[in-house]
Chains A and B, each alone.
Chain A
Amino acid sequence: YAFFPGKPRWPAGTRTLTYAFDPNENLDDATKQVFANAFNQWSKVTTITFTETTSYRSADIKIGFYSGDHGDGEPFDGVLGTLAHAFSPTDGRFHLDKSEDWVVNGDVRESSLSNAIDLESVAVHEIGHVLGLGHSSVEEAIMYPTISSRTRKVELEEDDIKGIQELYGSNPNFNGTTTATTSRDRDSSYGGRR
């Protein structure tokens, strides 16, 4: 696991972070639930919990789908390429590329669309950045920088858990076990040395 330079984190004593969706998006409940599930992956193992708020301006974490240049100096590039980005604590911005074919629910591996990207998988990764984790070289970790299309990877790996617990401590209810589930399709390049 890795941290951003200077190891930024949310202030000591933070127990709850609020999140809100860009009101211009009008996301449906199913999509919002995907983000709730993604936040829950991190809550299960550490001391921070997350609650949705309707007040976008005052939310700690601001989520939105944008295309191309959207004003933060990090323009999106269309289909595939860069899928999303998020900023280190305590910025809270969490942006996703509107051009992607996001699959909200169901088994993304079954998608007939070769560009289909599992929304929850990407959301779990970006929340790691929002909390202060950088990229990891552990291929099984959520914080590994790449994810192939038609792939689902939402369970935190030991590397992710150690990283987030170093920043915020452990959820007292966390029993120390987690199951990593990764499915891969399309890509035949996983032959790299681990």
Chain B
Amino acid sequence: RLFPNPSEIPTWMTNHAPPGAWDGYRNFTGCTRGKTYDGLSKLKNYFQHFGYIPNAPPLNFTDDFDDALESAVRAYQKNFNLNITGELDDATINYIVKPRCGVADIINGTTSMNSGKFNDTNLHTVAH
């Protein structure tokens, strides 16, 4: 729906805004590695779509909070300047559910966002 300007939005709509496509992911707030959560596979699909899980399994993703998901969460947190915890904390989930561009952040395993950049902590220097 294209509205010429905000005042053109009918008042009846304002009280019936449909839920966002990813609002359900808020239920995963606080999920931790090593456990299984109903529907977590959908979140894995999200991370796979945006390049954070490089390869989809031959069948479907499981609902396990596994190493691949934790790694994806860490890369996501780095890209979005969040605290890197590997956990689905409040701040991370709040970013995940934000509307966004459909283009992947990591394409063919590479990204120029933060997670693909040189890590300062690994810097080694040699004095001349």
As a 0/1 sequence over residues 100 to 114 of chain B, the CB contacts with chain A under 8 angstroms (1 = contact) are: 111101011011111
User: How many residues on A have C-beta within 8 angstroms of the other chain's C-beta atoms?
Assistant: 60
Q: Identify whether the interface residues of B are mostly helix, strand, loop, or mixed.
A: loop
Q: Is B36 an interface residue (CB 8 A)?
A: no
Q: Of A28, A79, A80, A189, which is within 8 A of B95 by CB?
A: A189
**Contact A116:B18 (CB < 8 A) given known A135-B105, A189-B98:** no
User: Are A137 and B9 within 8 A (Cβ)?
Assistant: no
Chain A residues with CB under 8 A of B61: none
Chain A residues with CB under 8 A of B2: 27-28, 31, 102, 104, 119
Q: Of A1, A115, A137, which is within 8 A of B17 by CB?
A: A115
Please, which residue of chain A has its CB at the minimum distance from the CB of B7? A106
As a 0/1 sequence over residues 92 to 104 of chain A, the CB contacts with chain B under 8 angstroms (1 = contact) are: 0000000011111
Please, which residue of chain B has its CB at the minimum distance from the CB of A117? B99
User: Are A145 and B105 within 8 A (Cβ)?
Assistant: yes
User: Are A115 and B20 within 8 A (Cβ)?
Assistant: yes
User: Are B102 and A112 within 8 A (Cβ)?
Assistant: no
User: Are B9 and A30 within 8 A (Cβ)?
Assistant: no
Q: Which positions 1-44 of chain B face chain A at CB distance < 8 Å? A: 1-7, 9, 11, 13-14, 17-23
**Contact A85:B102 (CB < 8 A) given known A2-B113, A112-B11, A192-B80:** yes
Q: Is B79 an interface residue (CB 8 A)?
A: yes
User: Are B20 and A80 within 8 A (Cβ)?
Assistant: yes
Q: Is B56 an interface residue (CB 8 A)?
A: no
User: Are B112 and A2 within 8 A (Cβ)?
Assistant: yes
Q: How far is the CA of A139 from the CA of B114 in the complex (A)?
A: 12
Chain A interface (Cβ within 8 Å of chain B)? 1-5, 27-28, 30-31, 74, 76-86, 100-108, 110-117, 119, 122, 125-126, 129, 134-137, 139, 145-149, 187-189, 191-194
